[in-house]
Structure 1
Amino acid sequence: MQRLYRKRIVLGVGGGIAAYKSAELVRRLRDQGAEVRVVMTSGGREFITPLTLQALSGHPVHLDLLDPAAEAAMGHIELARWADLVVIAPATADLMARLAQGVANDLLTTLVLATNAPVALAPAMNQAMWADPATQANRALLQQRGIRMFGPASGSQACGDVGMGRMLEADDLAQAAADCFERSLLTGKHLLITAGPTQENIDPVRYITNHSSGKMGFALAEAAAEAGARVTLVAGPVFLPTPDRVHRIDVVSARDMLTACEAAMPCDLFIAAAAVADYRPEVVAPHKLKKDPGSDDGLLLQMVRNPDILATLAGRADRPFSVGFAAETENLLEYATRKLRDKNLDLIVANDVANPSIGFNSEENAVTVIDRQQHETRFSQASKGHIARQLIAFIADRYHQA
């Protein structure tokens, strides 16, 4: 059931007596780590109140097709994009018929047409209605279009009949929802990633930094979230949007980054993709430094070492599985192997930043991963997003072997 961890589920509640089970279904889905948004039809509101489902889901219930509180009043589009899975429970005979015909006359039916997420129905109706040829034709048509059917079950019904048409119980529906997802590589794991440069102040106006754009680290964070991890991204000064489902912490200096990383511990895996400044000015001038117009002398800065974030976290008693990056302009594999050994890492990703097509600020990358046994695995040049997904799969595999 960990397959539901951090999954986004839209629960549609149709107008049937089985709607009382929807409240328990919300609880079961949330117990397994899913985030739930509820959409109710007008009929569904006759059987269970929106307030009940709001209290259980922790979010306002969506009722209207055009929602003034939603972005551009298009709540159905926002929910359609948000969902990983749409489950309609109960799905009445009327609702199945409308979906089969592609009708979009309320929020729920419009959302189903607008979403690219998988859709599943939990039918709930009288046994005669379920057996009716029209309902069976609608069921077959919906399944042909890729919509899943969760049930129904056979048993006693509210009307006193006994037979097929009873909605599955909440536990069974939650299990069926989980079965819609493959077990992710890093489900339930906490992954800490650093990205981007750091800035080390000289005075209130000037600072020392590097060319790192943060693109590789952000791509790794996105790929890790897709793999089911809970991701904390500690980012230096970059102008990049936060990946979906990633907790971002913005920092400036190397010392700031170390403090944020230590506060985010413990974690299961640590990927240090940031280009951290090795040195900082020993003294930061309180005011802007002025040049002497009567002198040709240069400016002498006394530099001191910054803390080594990667070595610090990899050396902890509760050390995570630790992955470093080595961005080099020469002797790439030699320097990367030395860094792997000196910092007590599990893996290191070697990146030739002297090559402009895969260096800082580029859209593509090509890397070599080195493990403790000095085995090398090469990933050919591709977009940073593609490389990130390959790396996350490789790192997850090595983590589970450790």
Structure 2
Amino acid sequence: MATSPLQFSPPLACEEDATLKAMLSFIDDCEGFLAARDQLGNELPASVPLGDSKSSKSSKSSTKGRRRTPAQEIQLLRQQEYDLSRKMETLHFDARAQALHVGRNNPERMASLTFWGQAASRQYLYRIKSERENRRLRELVTLQNSRAKQLEQLWRRQLNTALMAEVESQYAGIDEFLDIQRRQQRYEPPFHEFADTQNVPFGRSVVDRTIWEAFALRTHHQSMPFTFDQVDATNDAVRGCLHRDYRFPKINLRLQIWVATRKFREANRTVFVSQKRMEPLHLEGLASLGITFRETEVRVVTSSQPPGTNSGESDAGVATIETYMRVTRRGVPLWKGWGNGHVARSVWEKSIAKRRAAFEDLLFEEARQMQQ
């Protein structure tokens, strides 16, 4: 029985063809790589033999030896500076020589250069003279400001002393003043006045402390809406200068206030006398309005104590506070919108209401602390 030649199935034949193609491609790549290697080897230069370690060390040491030290660098820079300065002098000399040469050939240009050079020299001298004069004027202004400040401080001390003297004089005639106020006698109508009598359920000592604390807060406490210039306060006297700004629809004012307050303690009463001198100023430029107000405030505290107690030391009982305020105006207002002074009167009415509210708040706080 005859046998037929070996036959491959179609899938197997396809696989062998793919394998054969991959092998042929790999062989071609290897031949190309070998050819490229041979060509590269022929083009490489001959290798340079490496020197020994001694020669390398000597080259490093020679390199270090050629480096410049900082002193040499400085010397080199100085030499360069000298060379550049000489070159600049040479250029200046050449430029001047050229200008002289041009001037000889062109008299008009030479005259122009001479004129402007002299003008520049004069302007430089004028500048030096002006700077000296400015220094002299600055020294004079500094001296004048120092003297003005000293005079202002002296004037303030004298004004504070005068206000305190008025307080002493007011207390000397306090009985007559109270009699006139109680009978409502008026020799001339004041600009504004206020009178009030208030009974509080506290002893005289408590009311005295509270009133004095209210005066002190009004003059030198930082929580108040004032700018404090200089205020001196003791246990029975307060004096100084305050400022406060007011803003109205048609004008903004700064009120400069000089104040002097004293406390006089007697056997059966305590008298508080306060004198204030107030001058409204325009807030822009602080120019005077041409008027001055004087406020006199008197408070008299008396107390009815339970039997067997000292009226001046006990915290119990009922105290009576008589308050009298009188405001006078001097001068003619320069501001046309001032009118009959309704703006100032409204300020005083608000101030009186705030003073009473502050006093009652302090009295409430005093009572709360007493109960603790």
TM-score, normalization by structure 2: 0.19
Considering Cα pairs closer than 8 Å and 6+ residues apart, tell me whether 1 or 2 has the greater RCO. 2
Which protein shows a greater Rg? 2
TM-score, normalization by structure 1: 0.18
